[in-house]
Structure 1
Amino acid sequence: MEAKALVLEQRRELSLRSIDLPSRPGPDDVKIRIHTVGICGSDVHYYKHGRIGPFVVEEPMVLGHEASGTIIGIGSNVRHLKVGDRVCMEPGIPNPVSRASKLGVYNVDPEVRFWATPPVHGCLTPEIIHPAAFTYILPDNVSFAEGAMIEPFAIGMQAVVKADMRPGDLCVVTGAGPIGLMVALAALANGASEVLISDIVDEKLAIAEQYDGLTPVNTLNESLREALDQRCGGDWGADVVFEASGAPHVYDNIISYSRPAGTLVLVGMPIEPVNLDVVSAQAKELRIDTVFRYANVYDRAIALVASGKVDLTPLITDTLAFSQSIEAFERAAEALPGDIKLHITLGS
């Protein structure tokens, strides 16, 4: 089927044109009319650089993987969904019989096919086909815009699951970009007493300041270690530290933010090698964990938004029409200080 889509032709070249995409759902699939798609940092990275690590754009690829929409067709084996259901979609499709899937860690299945990761097309097109098993109903009180935010929020959920948090934990999040804010909100929902979130951009920290329990720290003006000292003394630190900036220099001091026997969770992806003081981590006997996407958290992410315990709407900076997709990506590539999440809408 020929369908109009936002296509990354090659590095720094986008077009809004027709492309041949699957049009009929298989027996275990659903067909979805896309309503809202968020622009992720990985989408922008592919646009600007044409690759992320070993994933290289070698032929035209449809962008987008944070989406919501409405089911307009179902496969013969699908029972838990129906035409008309409002849904959001988990964009990674693993091999269900792989070793990773059988262990419950399908996000690290080497065979996973993830939207808008070469050579897999994304979802910035009016209709897509997707496995029903990775399609989730949106409750009536969750908007399409919020549904498109579930994918990045799932990363925050994965981070707190990996952290094995306890109620009342004091947390630190380094980086107040979209993912850092998602991690911070997930930590609050998981029982953190306070989350210190650091950045050097006041506009990002102003978003964090809207939430009770999030304490912004501009590290151009205040040391994060000093902010921790005010709460727990110079010989202690946070129960859980989440690194969500991906900035290599953050690793220079990150061990000092944690208390002895605390937890460090690495969420951001540095594009350069980092220096991690392993001996200092050993001396504190830190537990260090990592995050790559998410697994088995989507339903809980949706439930938290539906319950009102997590409000993602302040993170949505602006929404542009599908016809403005190229403009939206050019704006996202500028990384304006006040932009957290840009949305593209295909529905009314």
Structure 2
Amino acid sequence: MKNVIVLNRGKEENSLPSKMKVAYLQGPSEVSVGQEDVPEVSGKDVLIKVMAVGICGSDIHYYTHGRIGQRMVQYPHIQGHECAGVVVATGSQVTRFKVGDRVAIEPGVTCQACRWCKEGRYNLCPDVQFLSTPPVKGAFVQYLKHREDFLFPIADTLSFENATLAEPLSVGLHAVRRGGLQPGASVVISGMGPVGLMTVIAAKAFGAKEIIVSDMEPLRLEIARKLGATKTIHIATANLAEAVEKSTFGLGVDMVLETSGNVKALQSSIELTKRGGTIVVIGFPAKEEVPLNVTLMLQKEIDLCSVYRYTNTYPLAISILESLGNQVGHVITDRYAIDEIQEAMNQAANNQSGSLKVMVFPN
């Protein structure tokens, strides 16, 4: 289903169906479509008709391996957390939204009571209910119940599929904030998957002057340049360290943002970073322990920051996406209906050279 037409607005039916389609992860690399009851809402909950869901790298990992670290899938499981849709019902205490509103959905619903939530670092909430992270079910459904304070309005001009990119863009925005990126800075972003590409957008929005990116896939580098990268390095044929040395006259870049999770890329970040610079780690390595040259980090007094999801980023992410218009659409390469979920997941998992963001349309 390569040419799906997604309507931005439309009249909602007066009555909701009692059943909805749901995509179940049944086992490693096995998904199927079944049915469940449409959720009922009360209190501060909102019912959203899900119009678009992007497949994330974590979705692919759970799909292929059934776990990420200590988090293990209990089959059957519902995946998907990059999503947007239309409000179709509201609980009695909902004040911010009405039926017909178009919304982007921030997937992590937090307790709002723990010390981290109160400090504004709610991404660290130990009781967060994050869509698709086991055991919490996700957004590969036609209708989703979600708390109103984690919904954000989107303009009519922003398509639902582009609005789903607020989630990976939020990761990039949180990363550049954590690293304290300043206007005029030089950065290296390693790994041009969807998060890496969104980090290019974030770095540009925060005023980075030089954005050097690296990847193994020519398609990803081409799209990175369209989104604002100033120099692209195909690491199979060019040396990233030499390119950085040439571009910075031997000083190194102000910041390295490592999105790939590649161990060698993380280890080499220390050499790429200038004295007094910053490394921001975004991608999860395949193994839990990674040796680093701490002596060189000390000698260069490099700041090392880690990033886990994001906090207070969605309004800015949506504003940036709205300003970019169709330019951000380069990231979306494949489109499927929910009945084609097996093909969609296979495409996302197995076609790294030809696909970037694979989109699923539940309705």
Normalising by structure 1, we get a TM-score of 0.96
Residues 204, 99 of structure 1: CA spacing in aligned structure 2 closer, same or farther, 3 A cutoff? Answer: same
Distance 2:290 2:344 in 1: 32
Distance 2:144 2:60 in 1: 21
Q: Residue type matched to 2:285 in 1?
A: P
Q: Residue type matched to 2:119 in 1?
A: L
| Matched-pair contact (CA < 8 Å) for 1:71–1:87 | yes
Say yes or no: does 1:188 pair with 2:204.
yes
* Residue among 259, 263, 270 paired with 1:244: 259
Question: Could you tell me how far 1:309 is from its partner in structure 2?
Answer: 8.1
Question: Could you tell me how far 1:310 is from its partner in structure 2?
Answer: 9.1
| Matched-pair contact (CA < 8 Å) for 2:22–2:142 | yes
Q: Residue type matched to 2:255 in 1?
A: V
Contiguous gaps of at least 5 residues in structure 2: 1-17
Question: Could you tell me how far 1:311 is from its partner in structure 2?
Answer: 3.7
* Residue among 333, 336, 344 paired with 1:317: 333
Distance 2:40 2:307 in 1: 34
Question: Could you tell me how far 1:59 is from its partner in structure 2?
Answer: 3.1
| Matched-pair contact (CA < 8 Å) for 1:30–1:71 | yes
Contiguous gaps of at least 5 residues in structure 1: none
Identity %: 36
2:139 matched to which residue of 1? 123
Question: Could you tell me how far 1:302 is from its partner in structure 2?
Answer: 0.5
Q: What SS does the corresponding residue of 1:308 show, helix, strand or coil? A: helix
1:254 matched to which residue of 2? 269
Question: Could you tell me how far 1:20 is from its partner in structure 2?
Answer: 5.0
**Aligned runs of 1:2-41 on 2, under 5 Å?**
2-19=19-36, 23-41=39-57
Distance 1:64 1:179 in 2: 15
Q: What SS does the corresponding residue of 1:325 show, helix, strand or coil? A: helix
Normalising by structure 2, we get a TM-score of 0.92
Bigger shift: 70-79 or 303-312?
A: 303-312
1:48 matched to which residue of 2? 64
Distance 2:224 2:231 in 1: 7
Question: Could you tell me how far 1:108 is from its partner in structure 2?
Answer: 1.1
* Residue among 59, 64, 75 paired with 2:91: 75
Q: What SS does the corresponding residue of 1:17 show, helix, strand or coil? A: strand
1:266 matched to which residue of 2? 281
After superposition, the CA RMSD in angstroms is: 1.5
Q: What SS does the corresponding residue of 1:69 show, helix, strand or coil? A: strand
1:65 matched to which residue of 2? 81
1:138 matched to which residue of 2? 154
1:166 matched to which residue of 2? 182
1:85 matched to which residue of 2? 101
Distance 1:80 1:36 in 2: 22
Distance 2:149 2:253 in 1: 38
Q: Residue type matched to 2:125 in 1?
A: D
Distance 1:150 1:310 in 2: 14
Deviations 1:281-337 (A, max 9, x none): 111111111111111001110011122389421100011112111110111121331
| Matched-pair contact (CA < 8 Å) for 1:59–1:119 | no
Deviations 1:108-146 (A, max 9, x none): 111111111111100111101000000010012211111
Deviations 1:38-59 (A, max 9, x none): 0011111111111111110123
Say yes or no: does 1:291 pair with 2:307.
yes
Distance 2:352 2:259 in 1: 18
Distance 1:8 1:289 in 2: 34
Distance 1:125 1:165 in 2: 38
| Matched-pair contact (CA < 8 Å) for 2:347–2:355 | no
**Aligned runs of 1:336-347 on 2, under 5 Å?**
336-347=352-363
Q: Residue type matched to 1:181 in 2?
A: L
Deviations 1:37-81 (A, max 9, x none): 000111111111111111101231111101010000111111111
Distance 2:348 2:37 in 1: 26
Distance 2:344 2:263 in 1: 28
Say yes or no: does 1:147 pair with 2:139.
no
Distance 1:43 1:342 in 2: 11
